[in-house]
Amino acid sequence: MQKGQFFIISAAIIVSALFLITEYILSYGKVELMQLEELNQLNYIQPIKDSLKNTVKASLQNSPDCARLEADLQEAESFLKKELIKRALVLDIRHSTACPKVNFEFNLTSQNFFSSTKFEYP
């Protein structure tokens, strides 16, 4: 093999190696949009829980015999669903009441995200 051929082959190998190393290193800095979307949607879970808890608390303070609890929960659920649908999130809430205790289960869903949450108050 002549010197010129060896030089061209060596240069091609070095350029290829540098390109592969650069791509490998740059891949660590890429932002995954799906991960950002999931983190954003996870931020809705606690405010939903807090809103439902506050609804139960306020309803029990206004009506200790739980007369308004079911109506207040339906109103809060309807409001939450309307607000989240504006953000392309579907909220499915189920609750069971054994006054004054309420068991909640809700699913938060979007095109690429699903979360299921259960909790009890108080």
Give CA–CA dist 116/93, Å, rounded: 10
Q: Do 97 and 89 meet the contact criterion of CB atoms below 8 Å apart?
A: no
For residue range 3-59, list pLDDT tens digits in order. 778 888 888 899 999 988 888 887 776 666 666 666 778 899 999 999 999 999 999
Residue pointed to by tokens 């002549």: 2
Q: What is the dihedral of CA 56, 57, 58, 63, to 10 degrees?
A: 80
Mean pLDDT of the residues in the chain: 89
Q: CB-based contacts of 13: which residues, under 8 Å, 6+ apart?
A: none
pLDDT at 97: 93
In the chain, where are the structural domains located? 3-30, 34-121
Q: Do 66 and 106 meet the contact criterion of CB atoms below 8 Å apart?
A: no
